[in-house]
Amino acid sequence: MQLQPVIATPTQADSAITEAEAGALARTVVNLFRAWALSDAEACTLLGGMSPRTWARWKDGGFGRIDRDLRMRMAHMIGIHKGLRYLFRQPARGYDWIRKRNAAFGGLSALELMLRGEVSDLAALREWIDAERGAW
């Protein structure tokens, strides 16, 4: 039996996050971080080690170039927010849940998991929330 070469599926250009969408994500993330009551240091960590100066500009509405990693981070955080909105009828409960310790996370809070700083931590939390809400 001979192995057959695997032909890569081309990515669709329209599946990428556009500049306009990235700007909308950035504005939404600034508002989300306010709702989550994050410190500037926490926000910078969640945004991949963004400098405090850049974060200050973001809070004032000034968004520069947003690279692929940052776009993915923001998309995961909005996905986490969306999942929590499905799980909790009152938005404040979802915002508070971010900081509450959780046995499913070994006693850590969702925020503590996200603050480890890796995109994979954001993706894993998003998948866990999606599974909890029955999206699978």
Convert the pLDDT of each residue in 14-54 to its tens digit.
Answer: 567 788 888 888 999 999 999 999 999 999 999 999 999 99
Angstrom distance (rounded) from CA 23 to CA 56: 16
User: How do residues 54-110 score in pLDDT, each as one tens digit?
Assistant: 999 999 988 888 899 999 999 999 999 999 999 998 999 999 999 999 999 999 999
Handedness of CA 100, 47, 15, 8 (dihedral sign): negative
Dihedral over alpha carbons 129, 75, 121, 98 (to 10 degrees): -50
Domain layout of the chain by residue ranges:
18-132
Phi, psi of 51, deg, nearest 5: -70, 150
pTM flag (> 0.85)? no
Name which of 114, 118, 132 is nearest 32 in CA terms: 114
Tokens at 53, concatenated: 């100066």
Angstrom distance (rounded) from CA 126 to CA 90: 19
Name which of 130, 86, 25 is nearest 33 in CA terms: 25
CA distances (Å), origin 106, targets 46, 93, 100: 20, 21, 12
- Given this model, what pLDDT does residue 8 score? 65
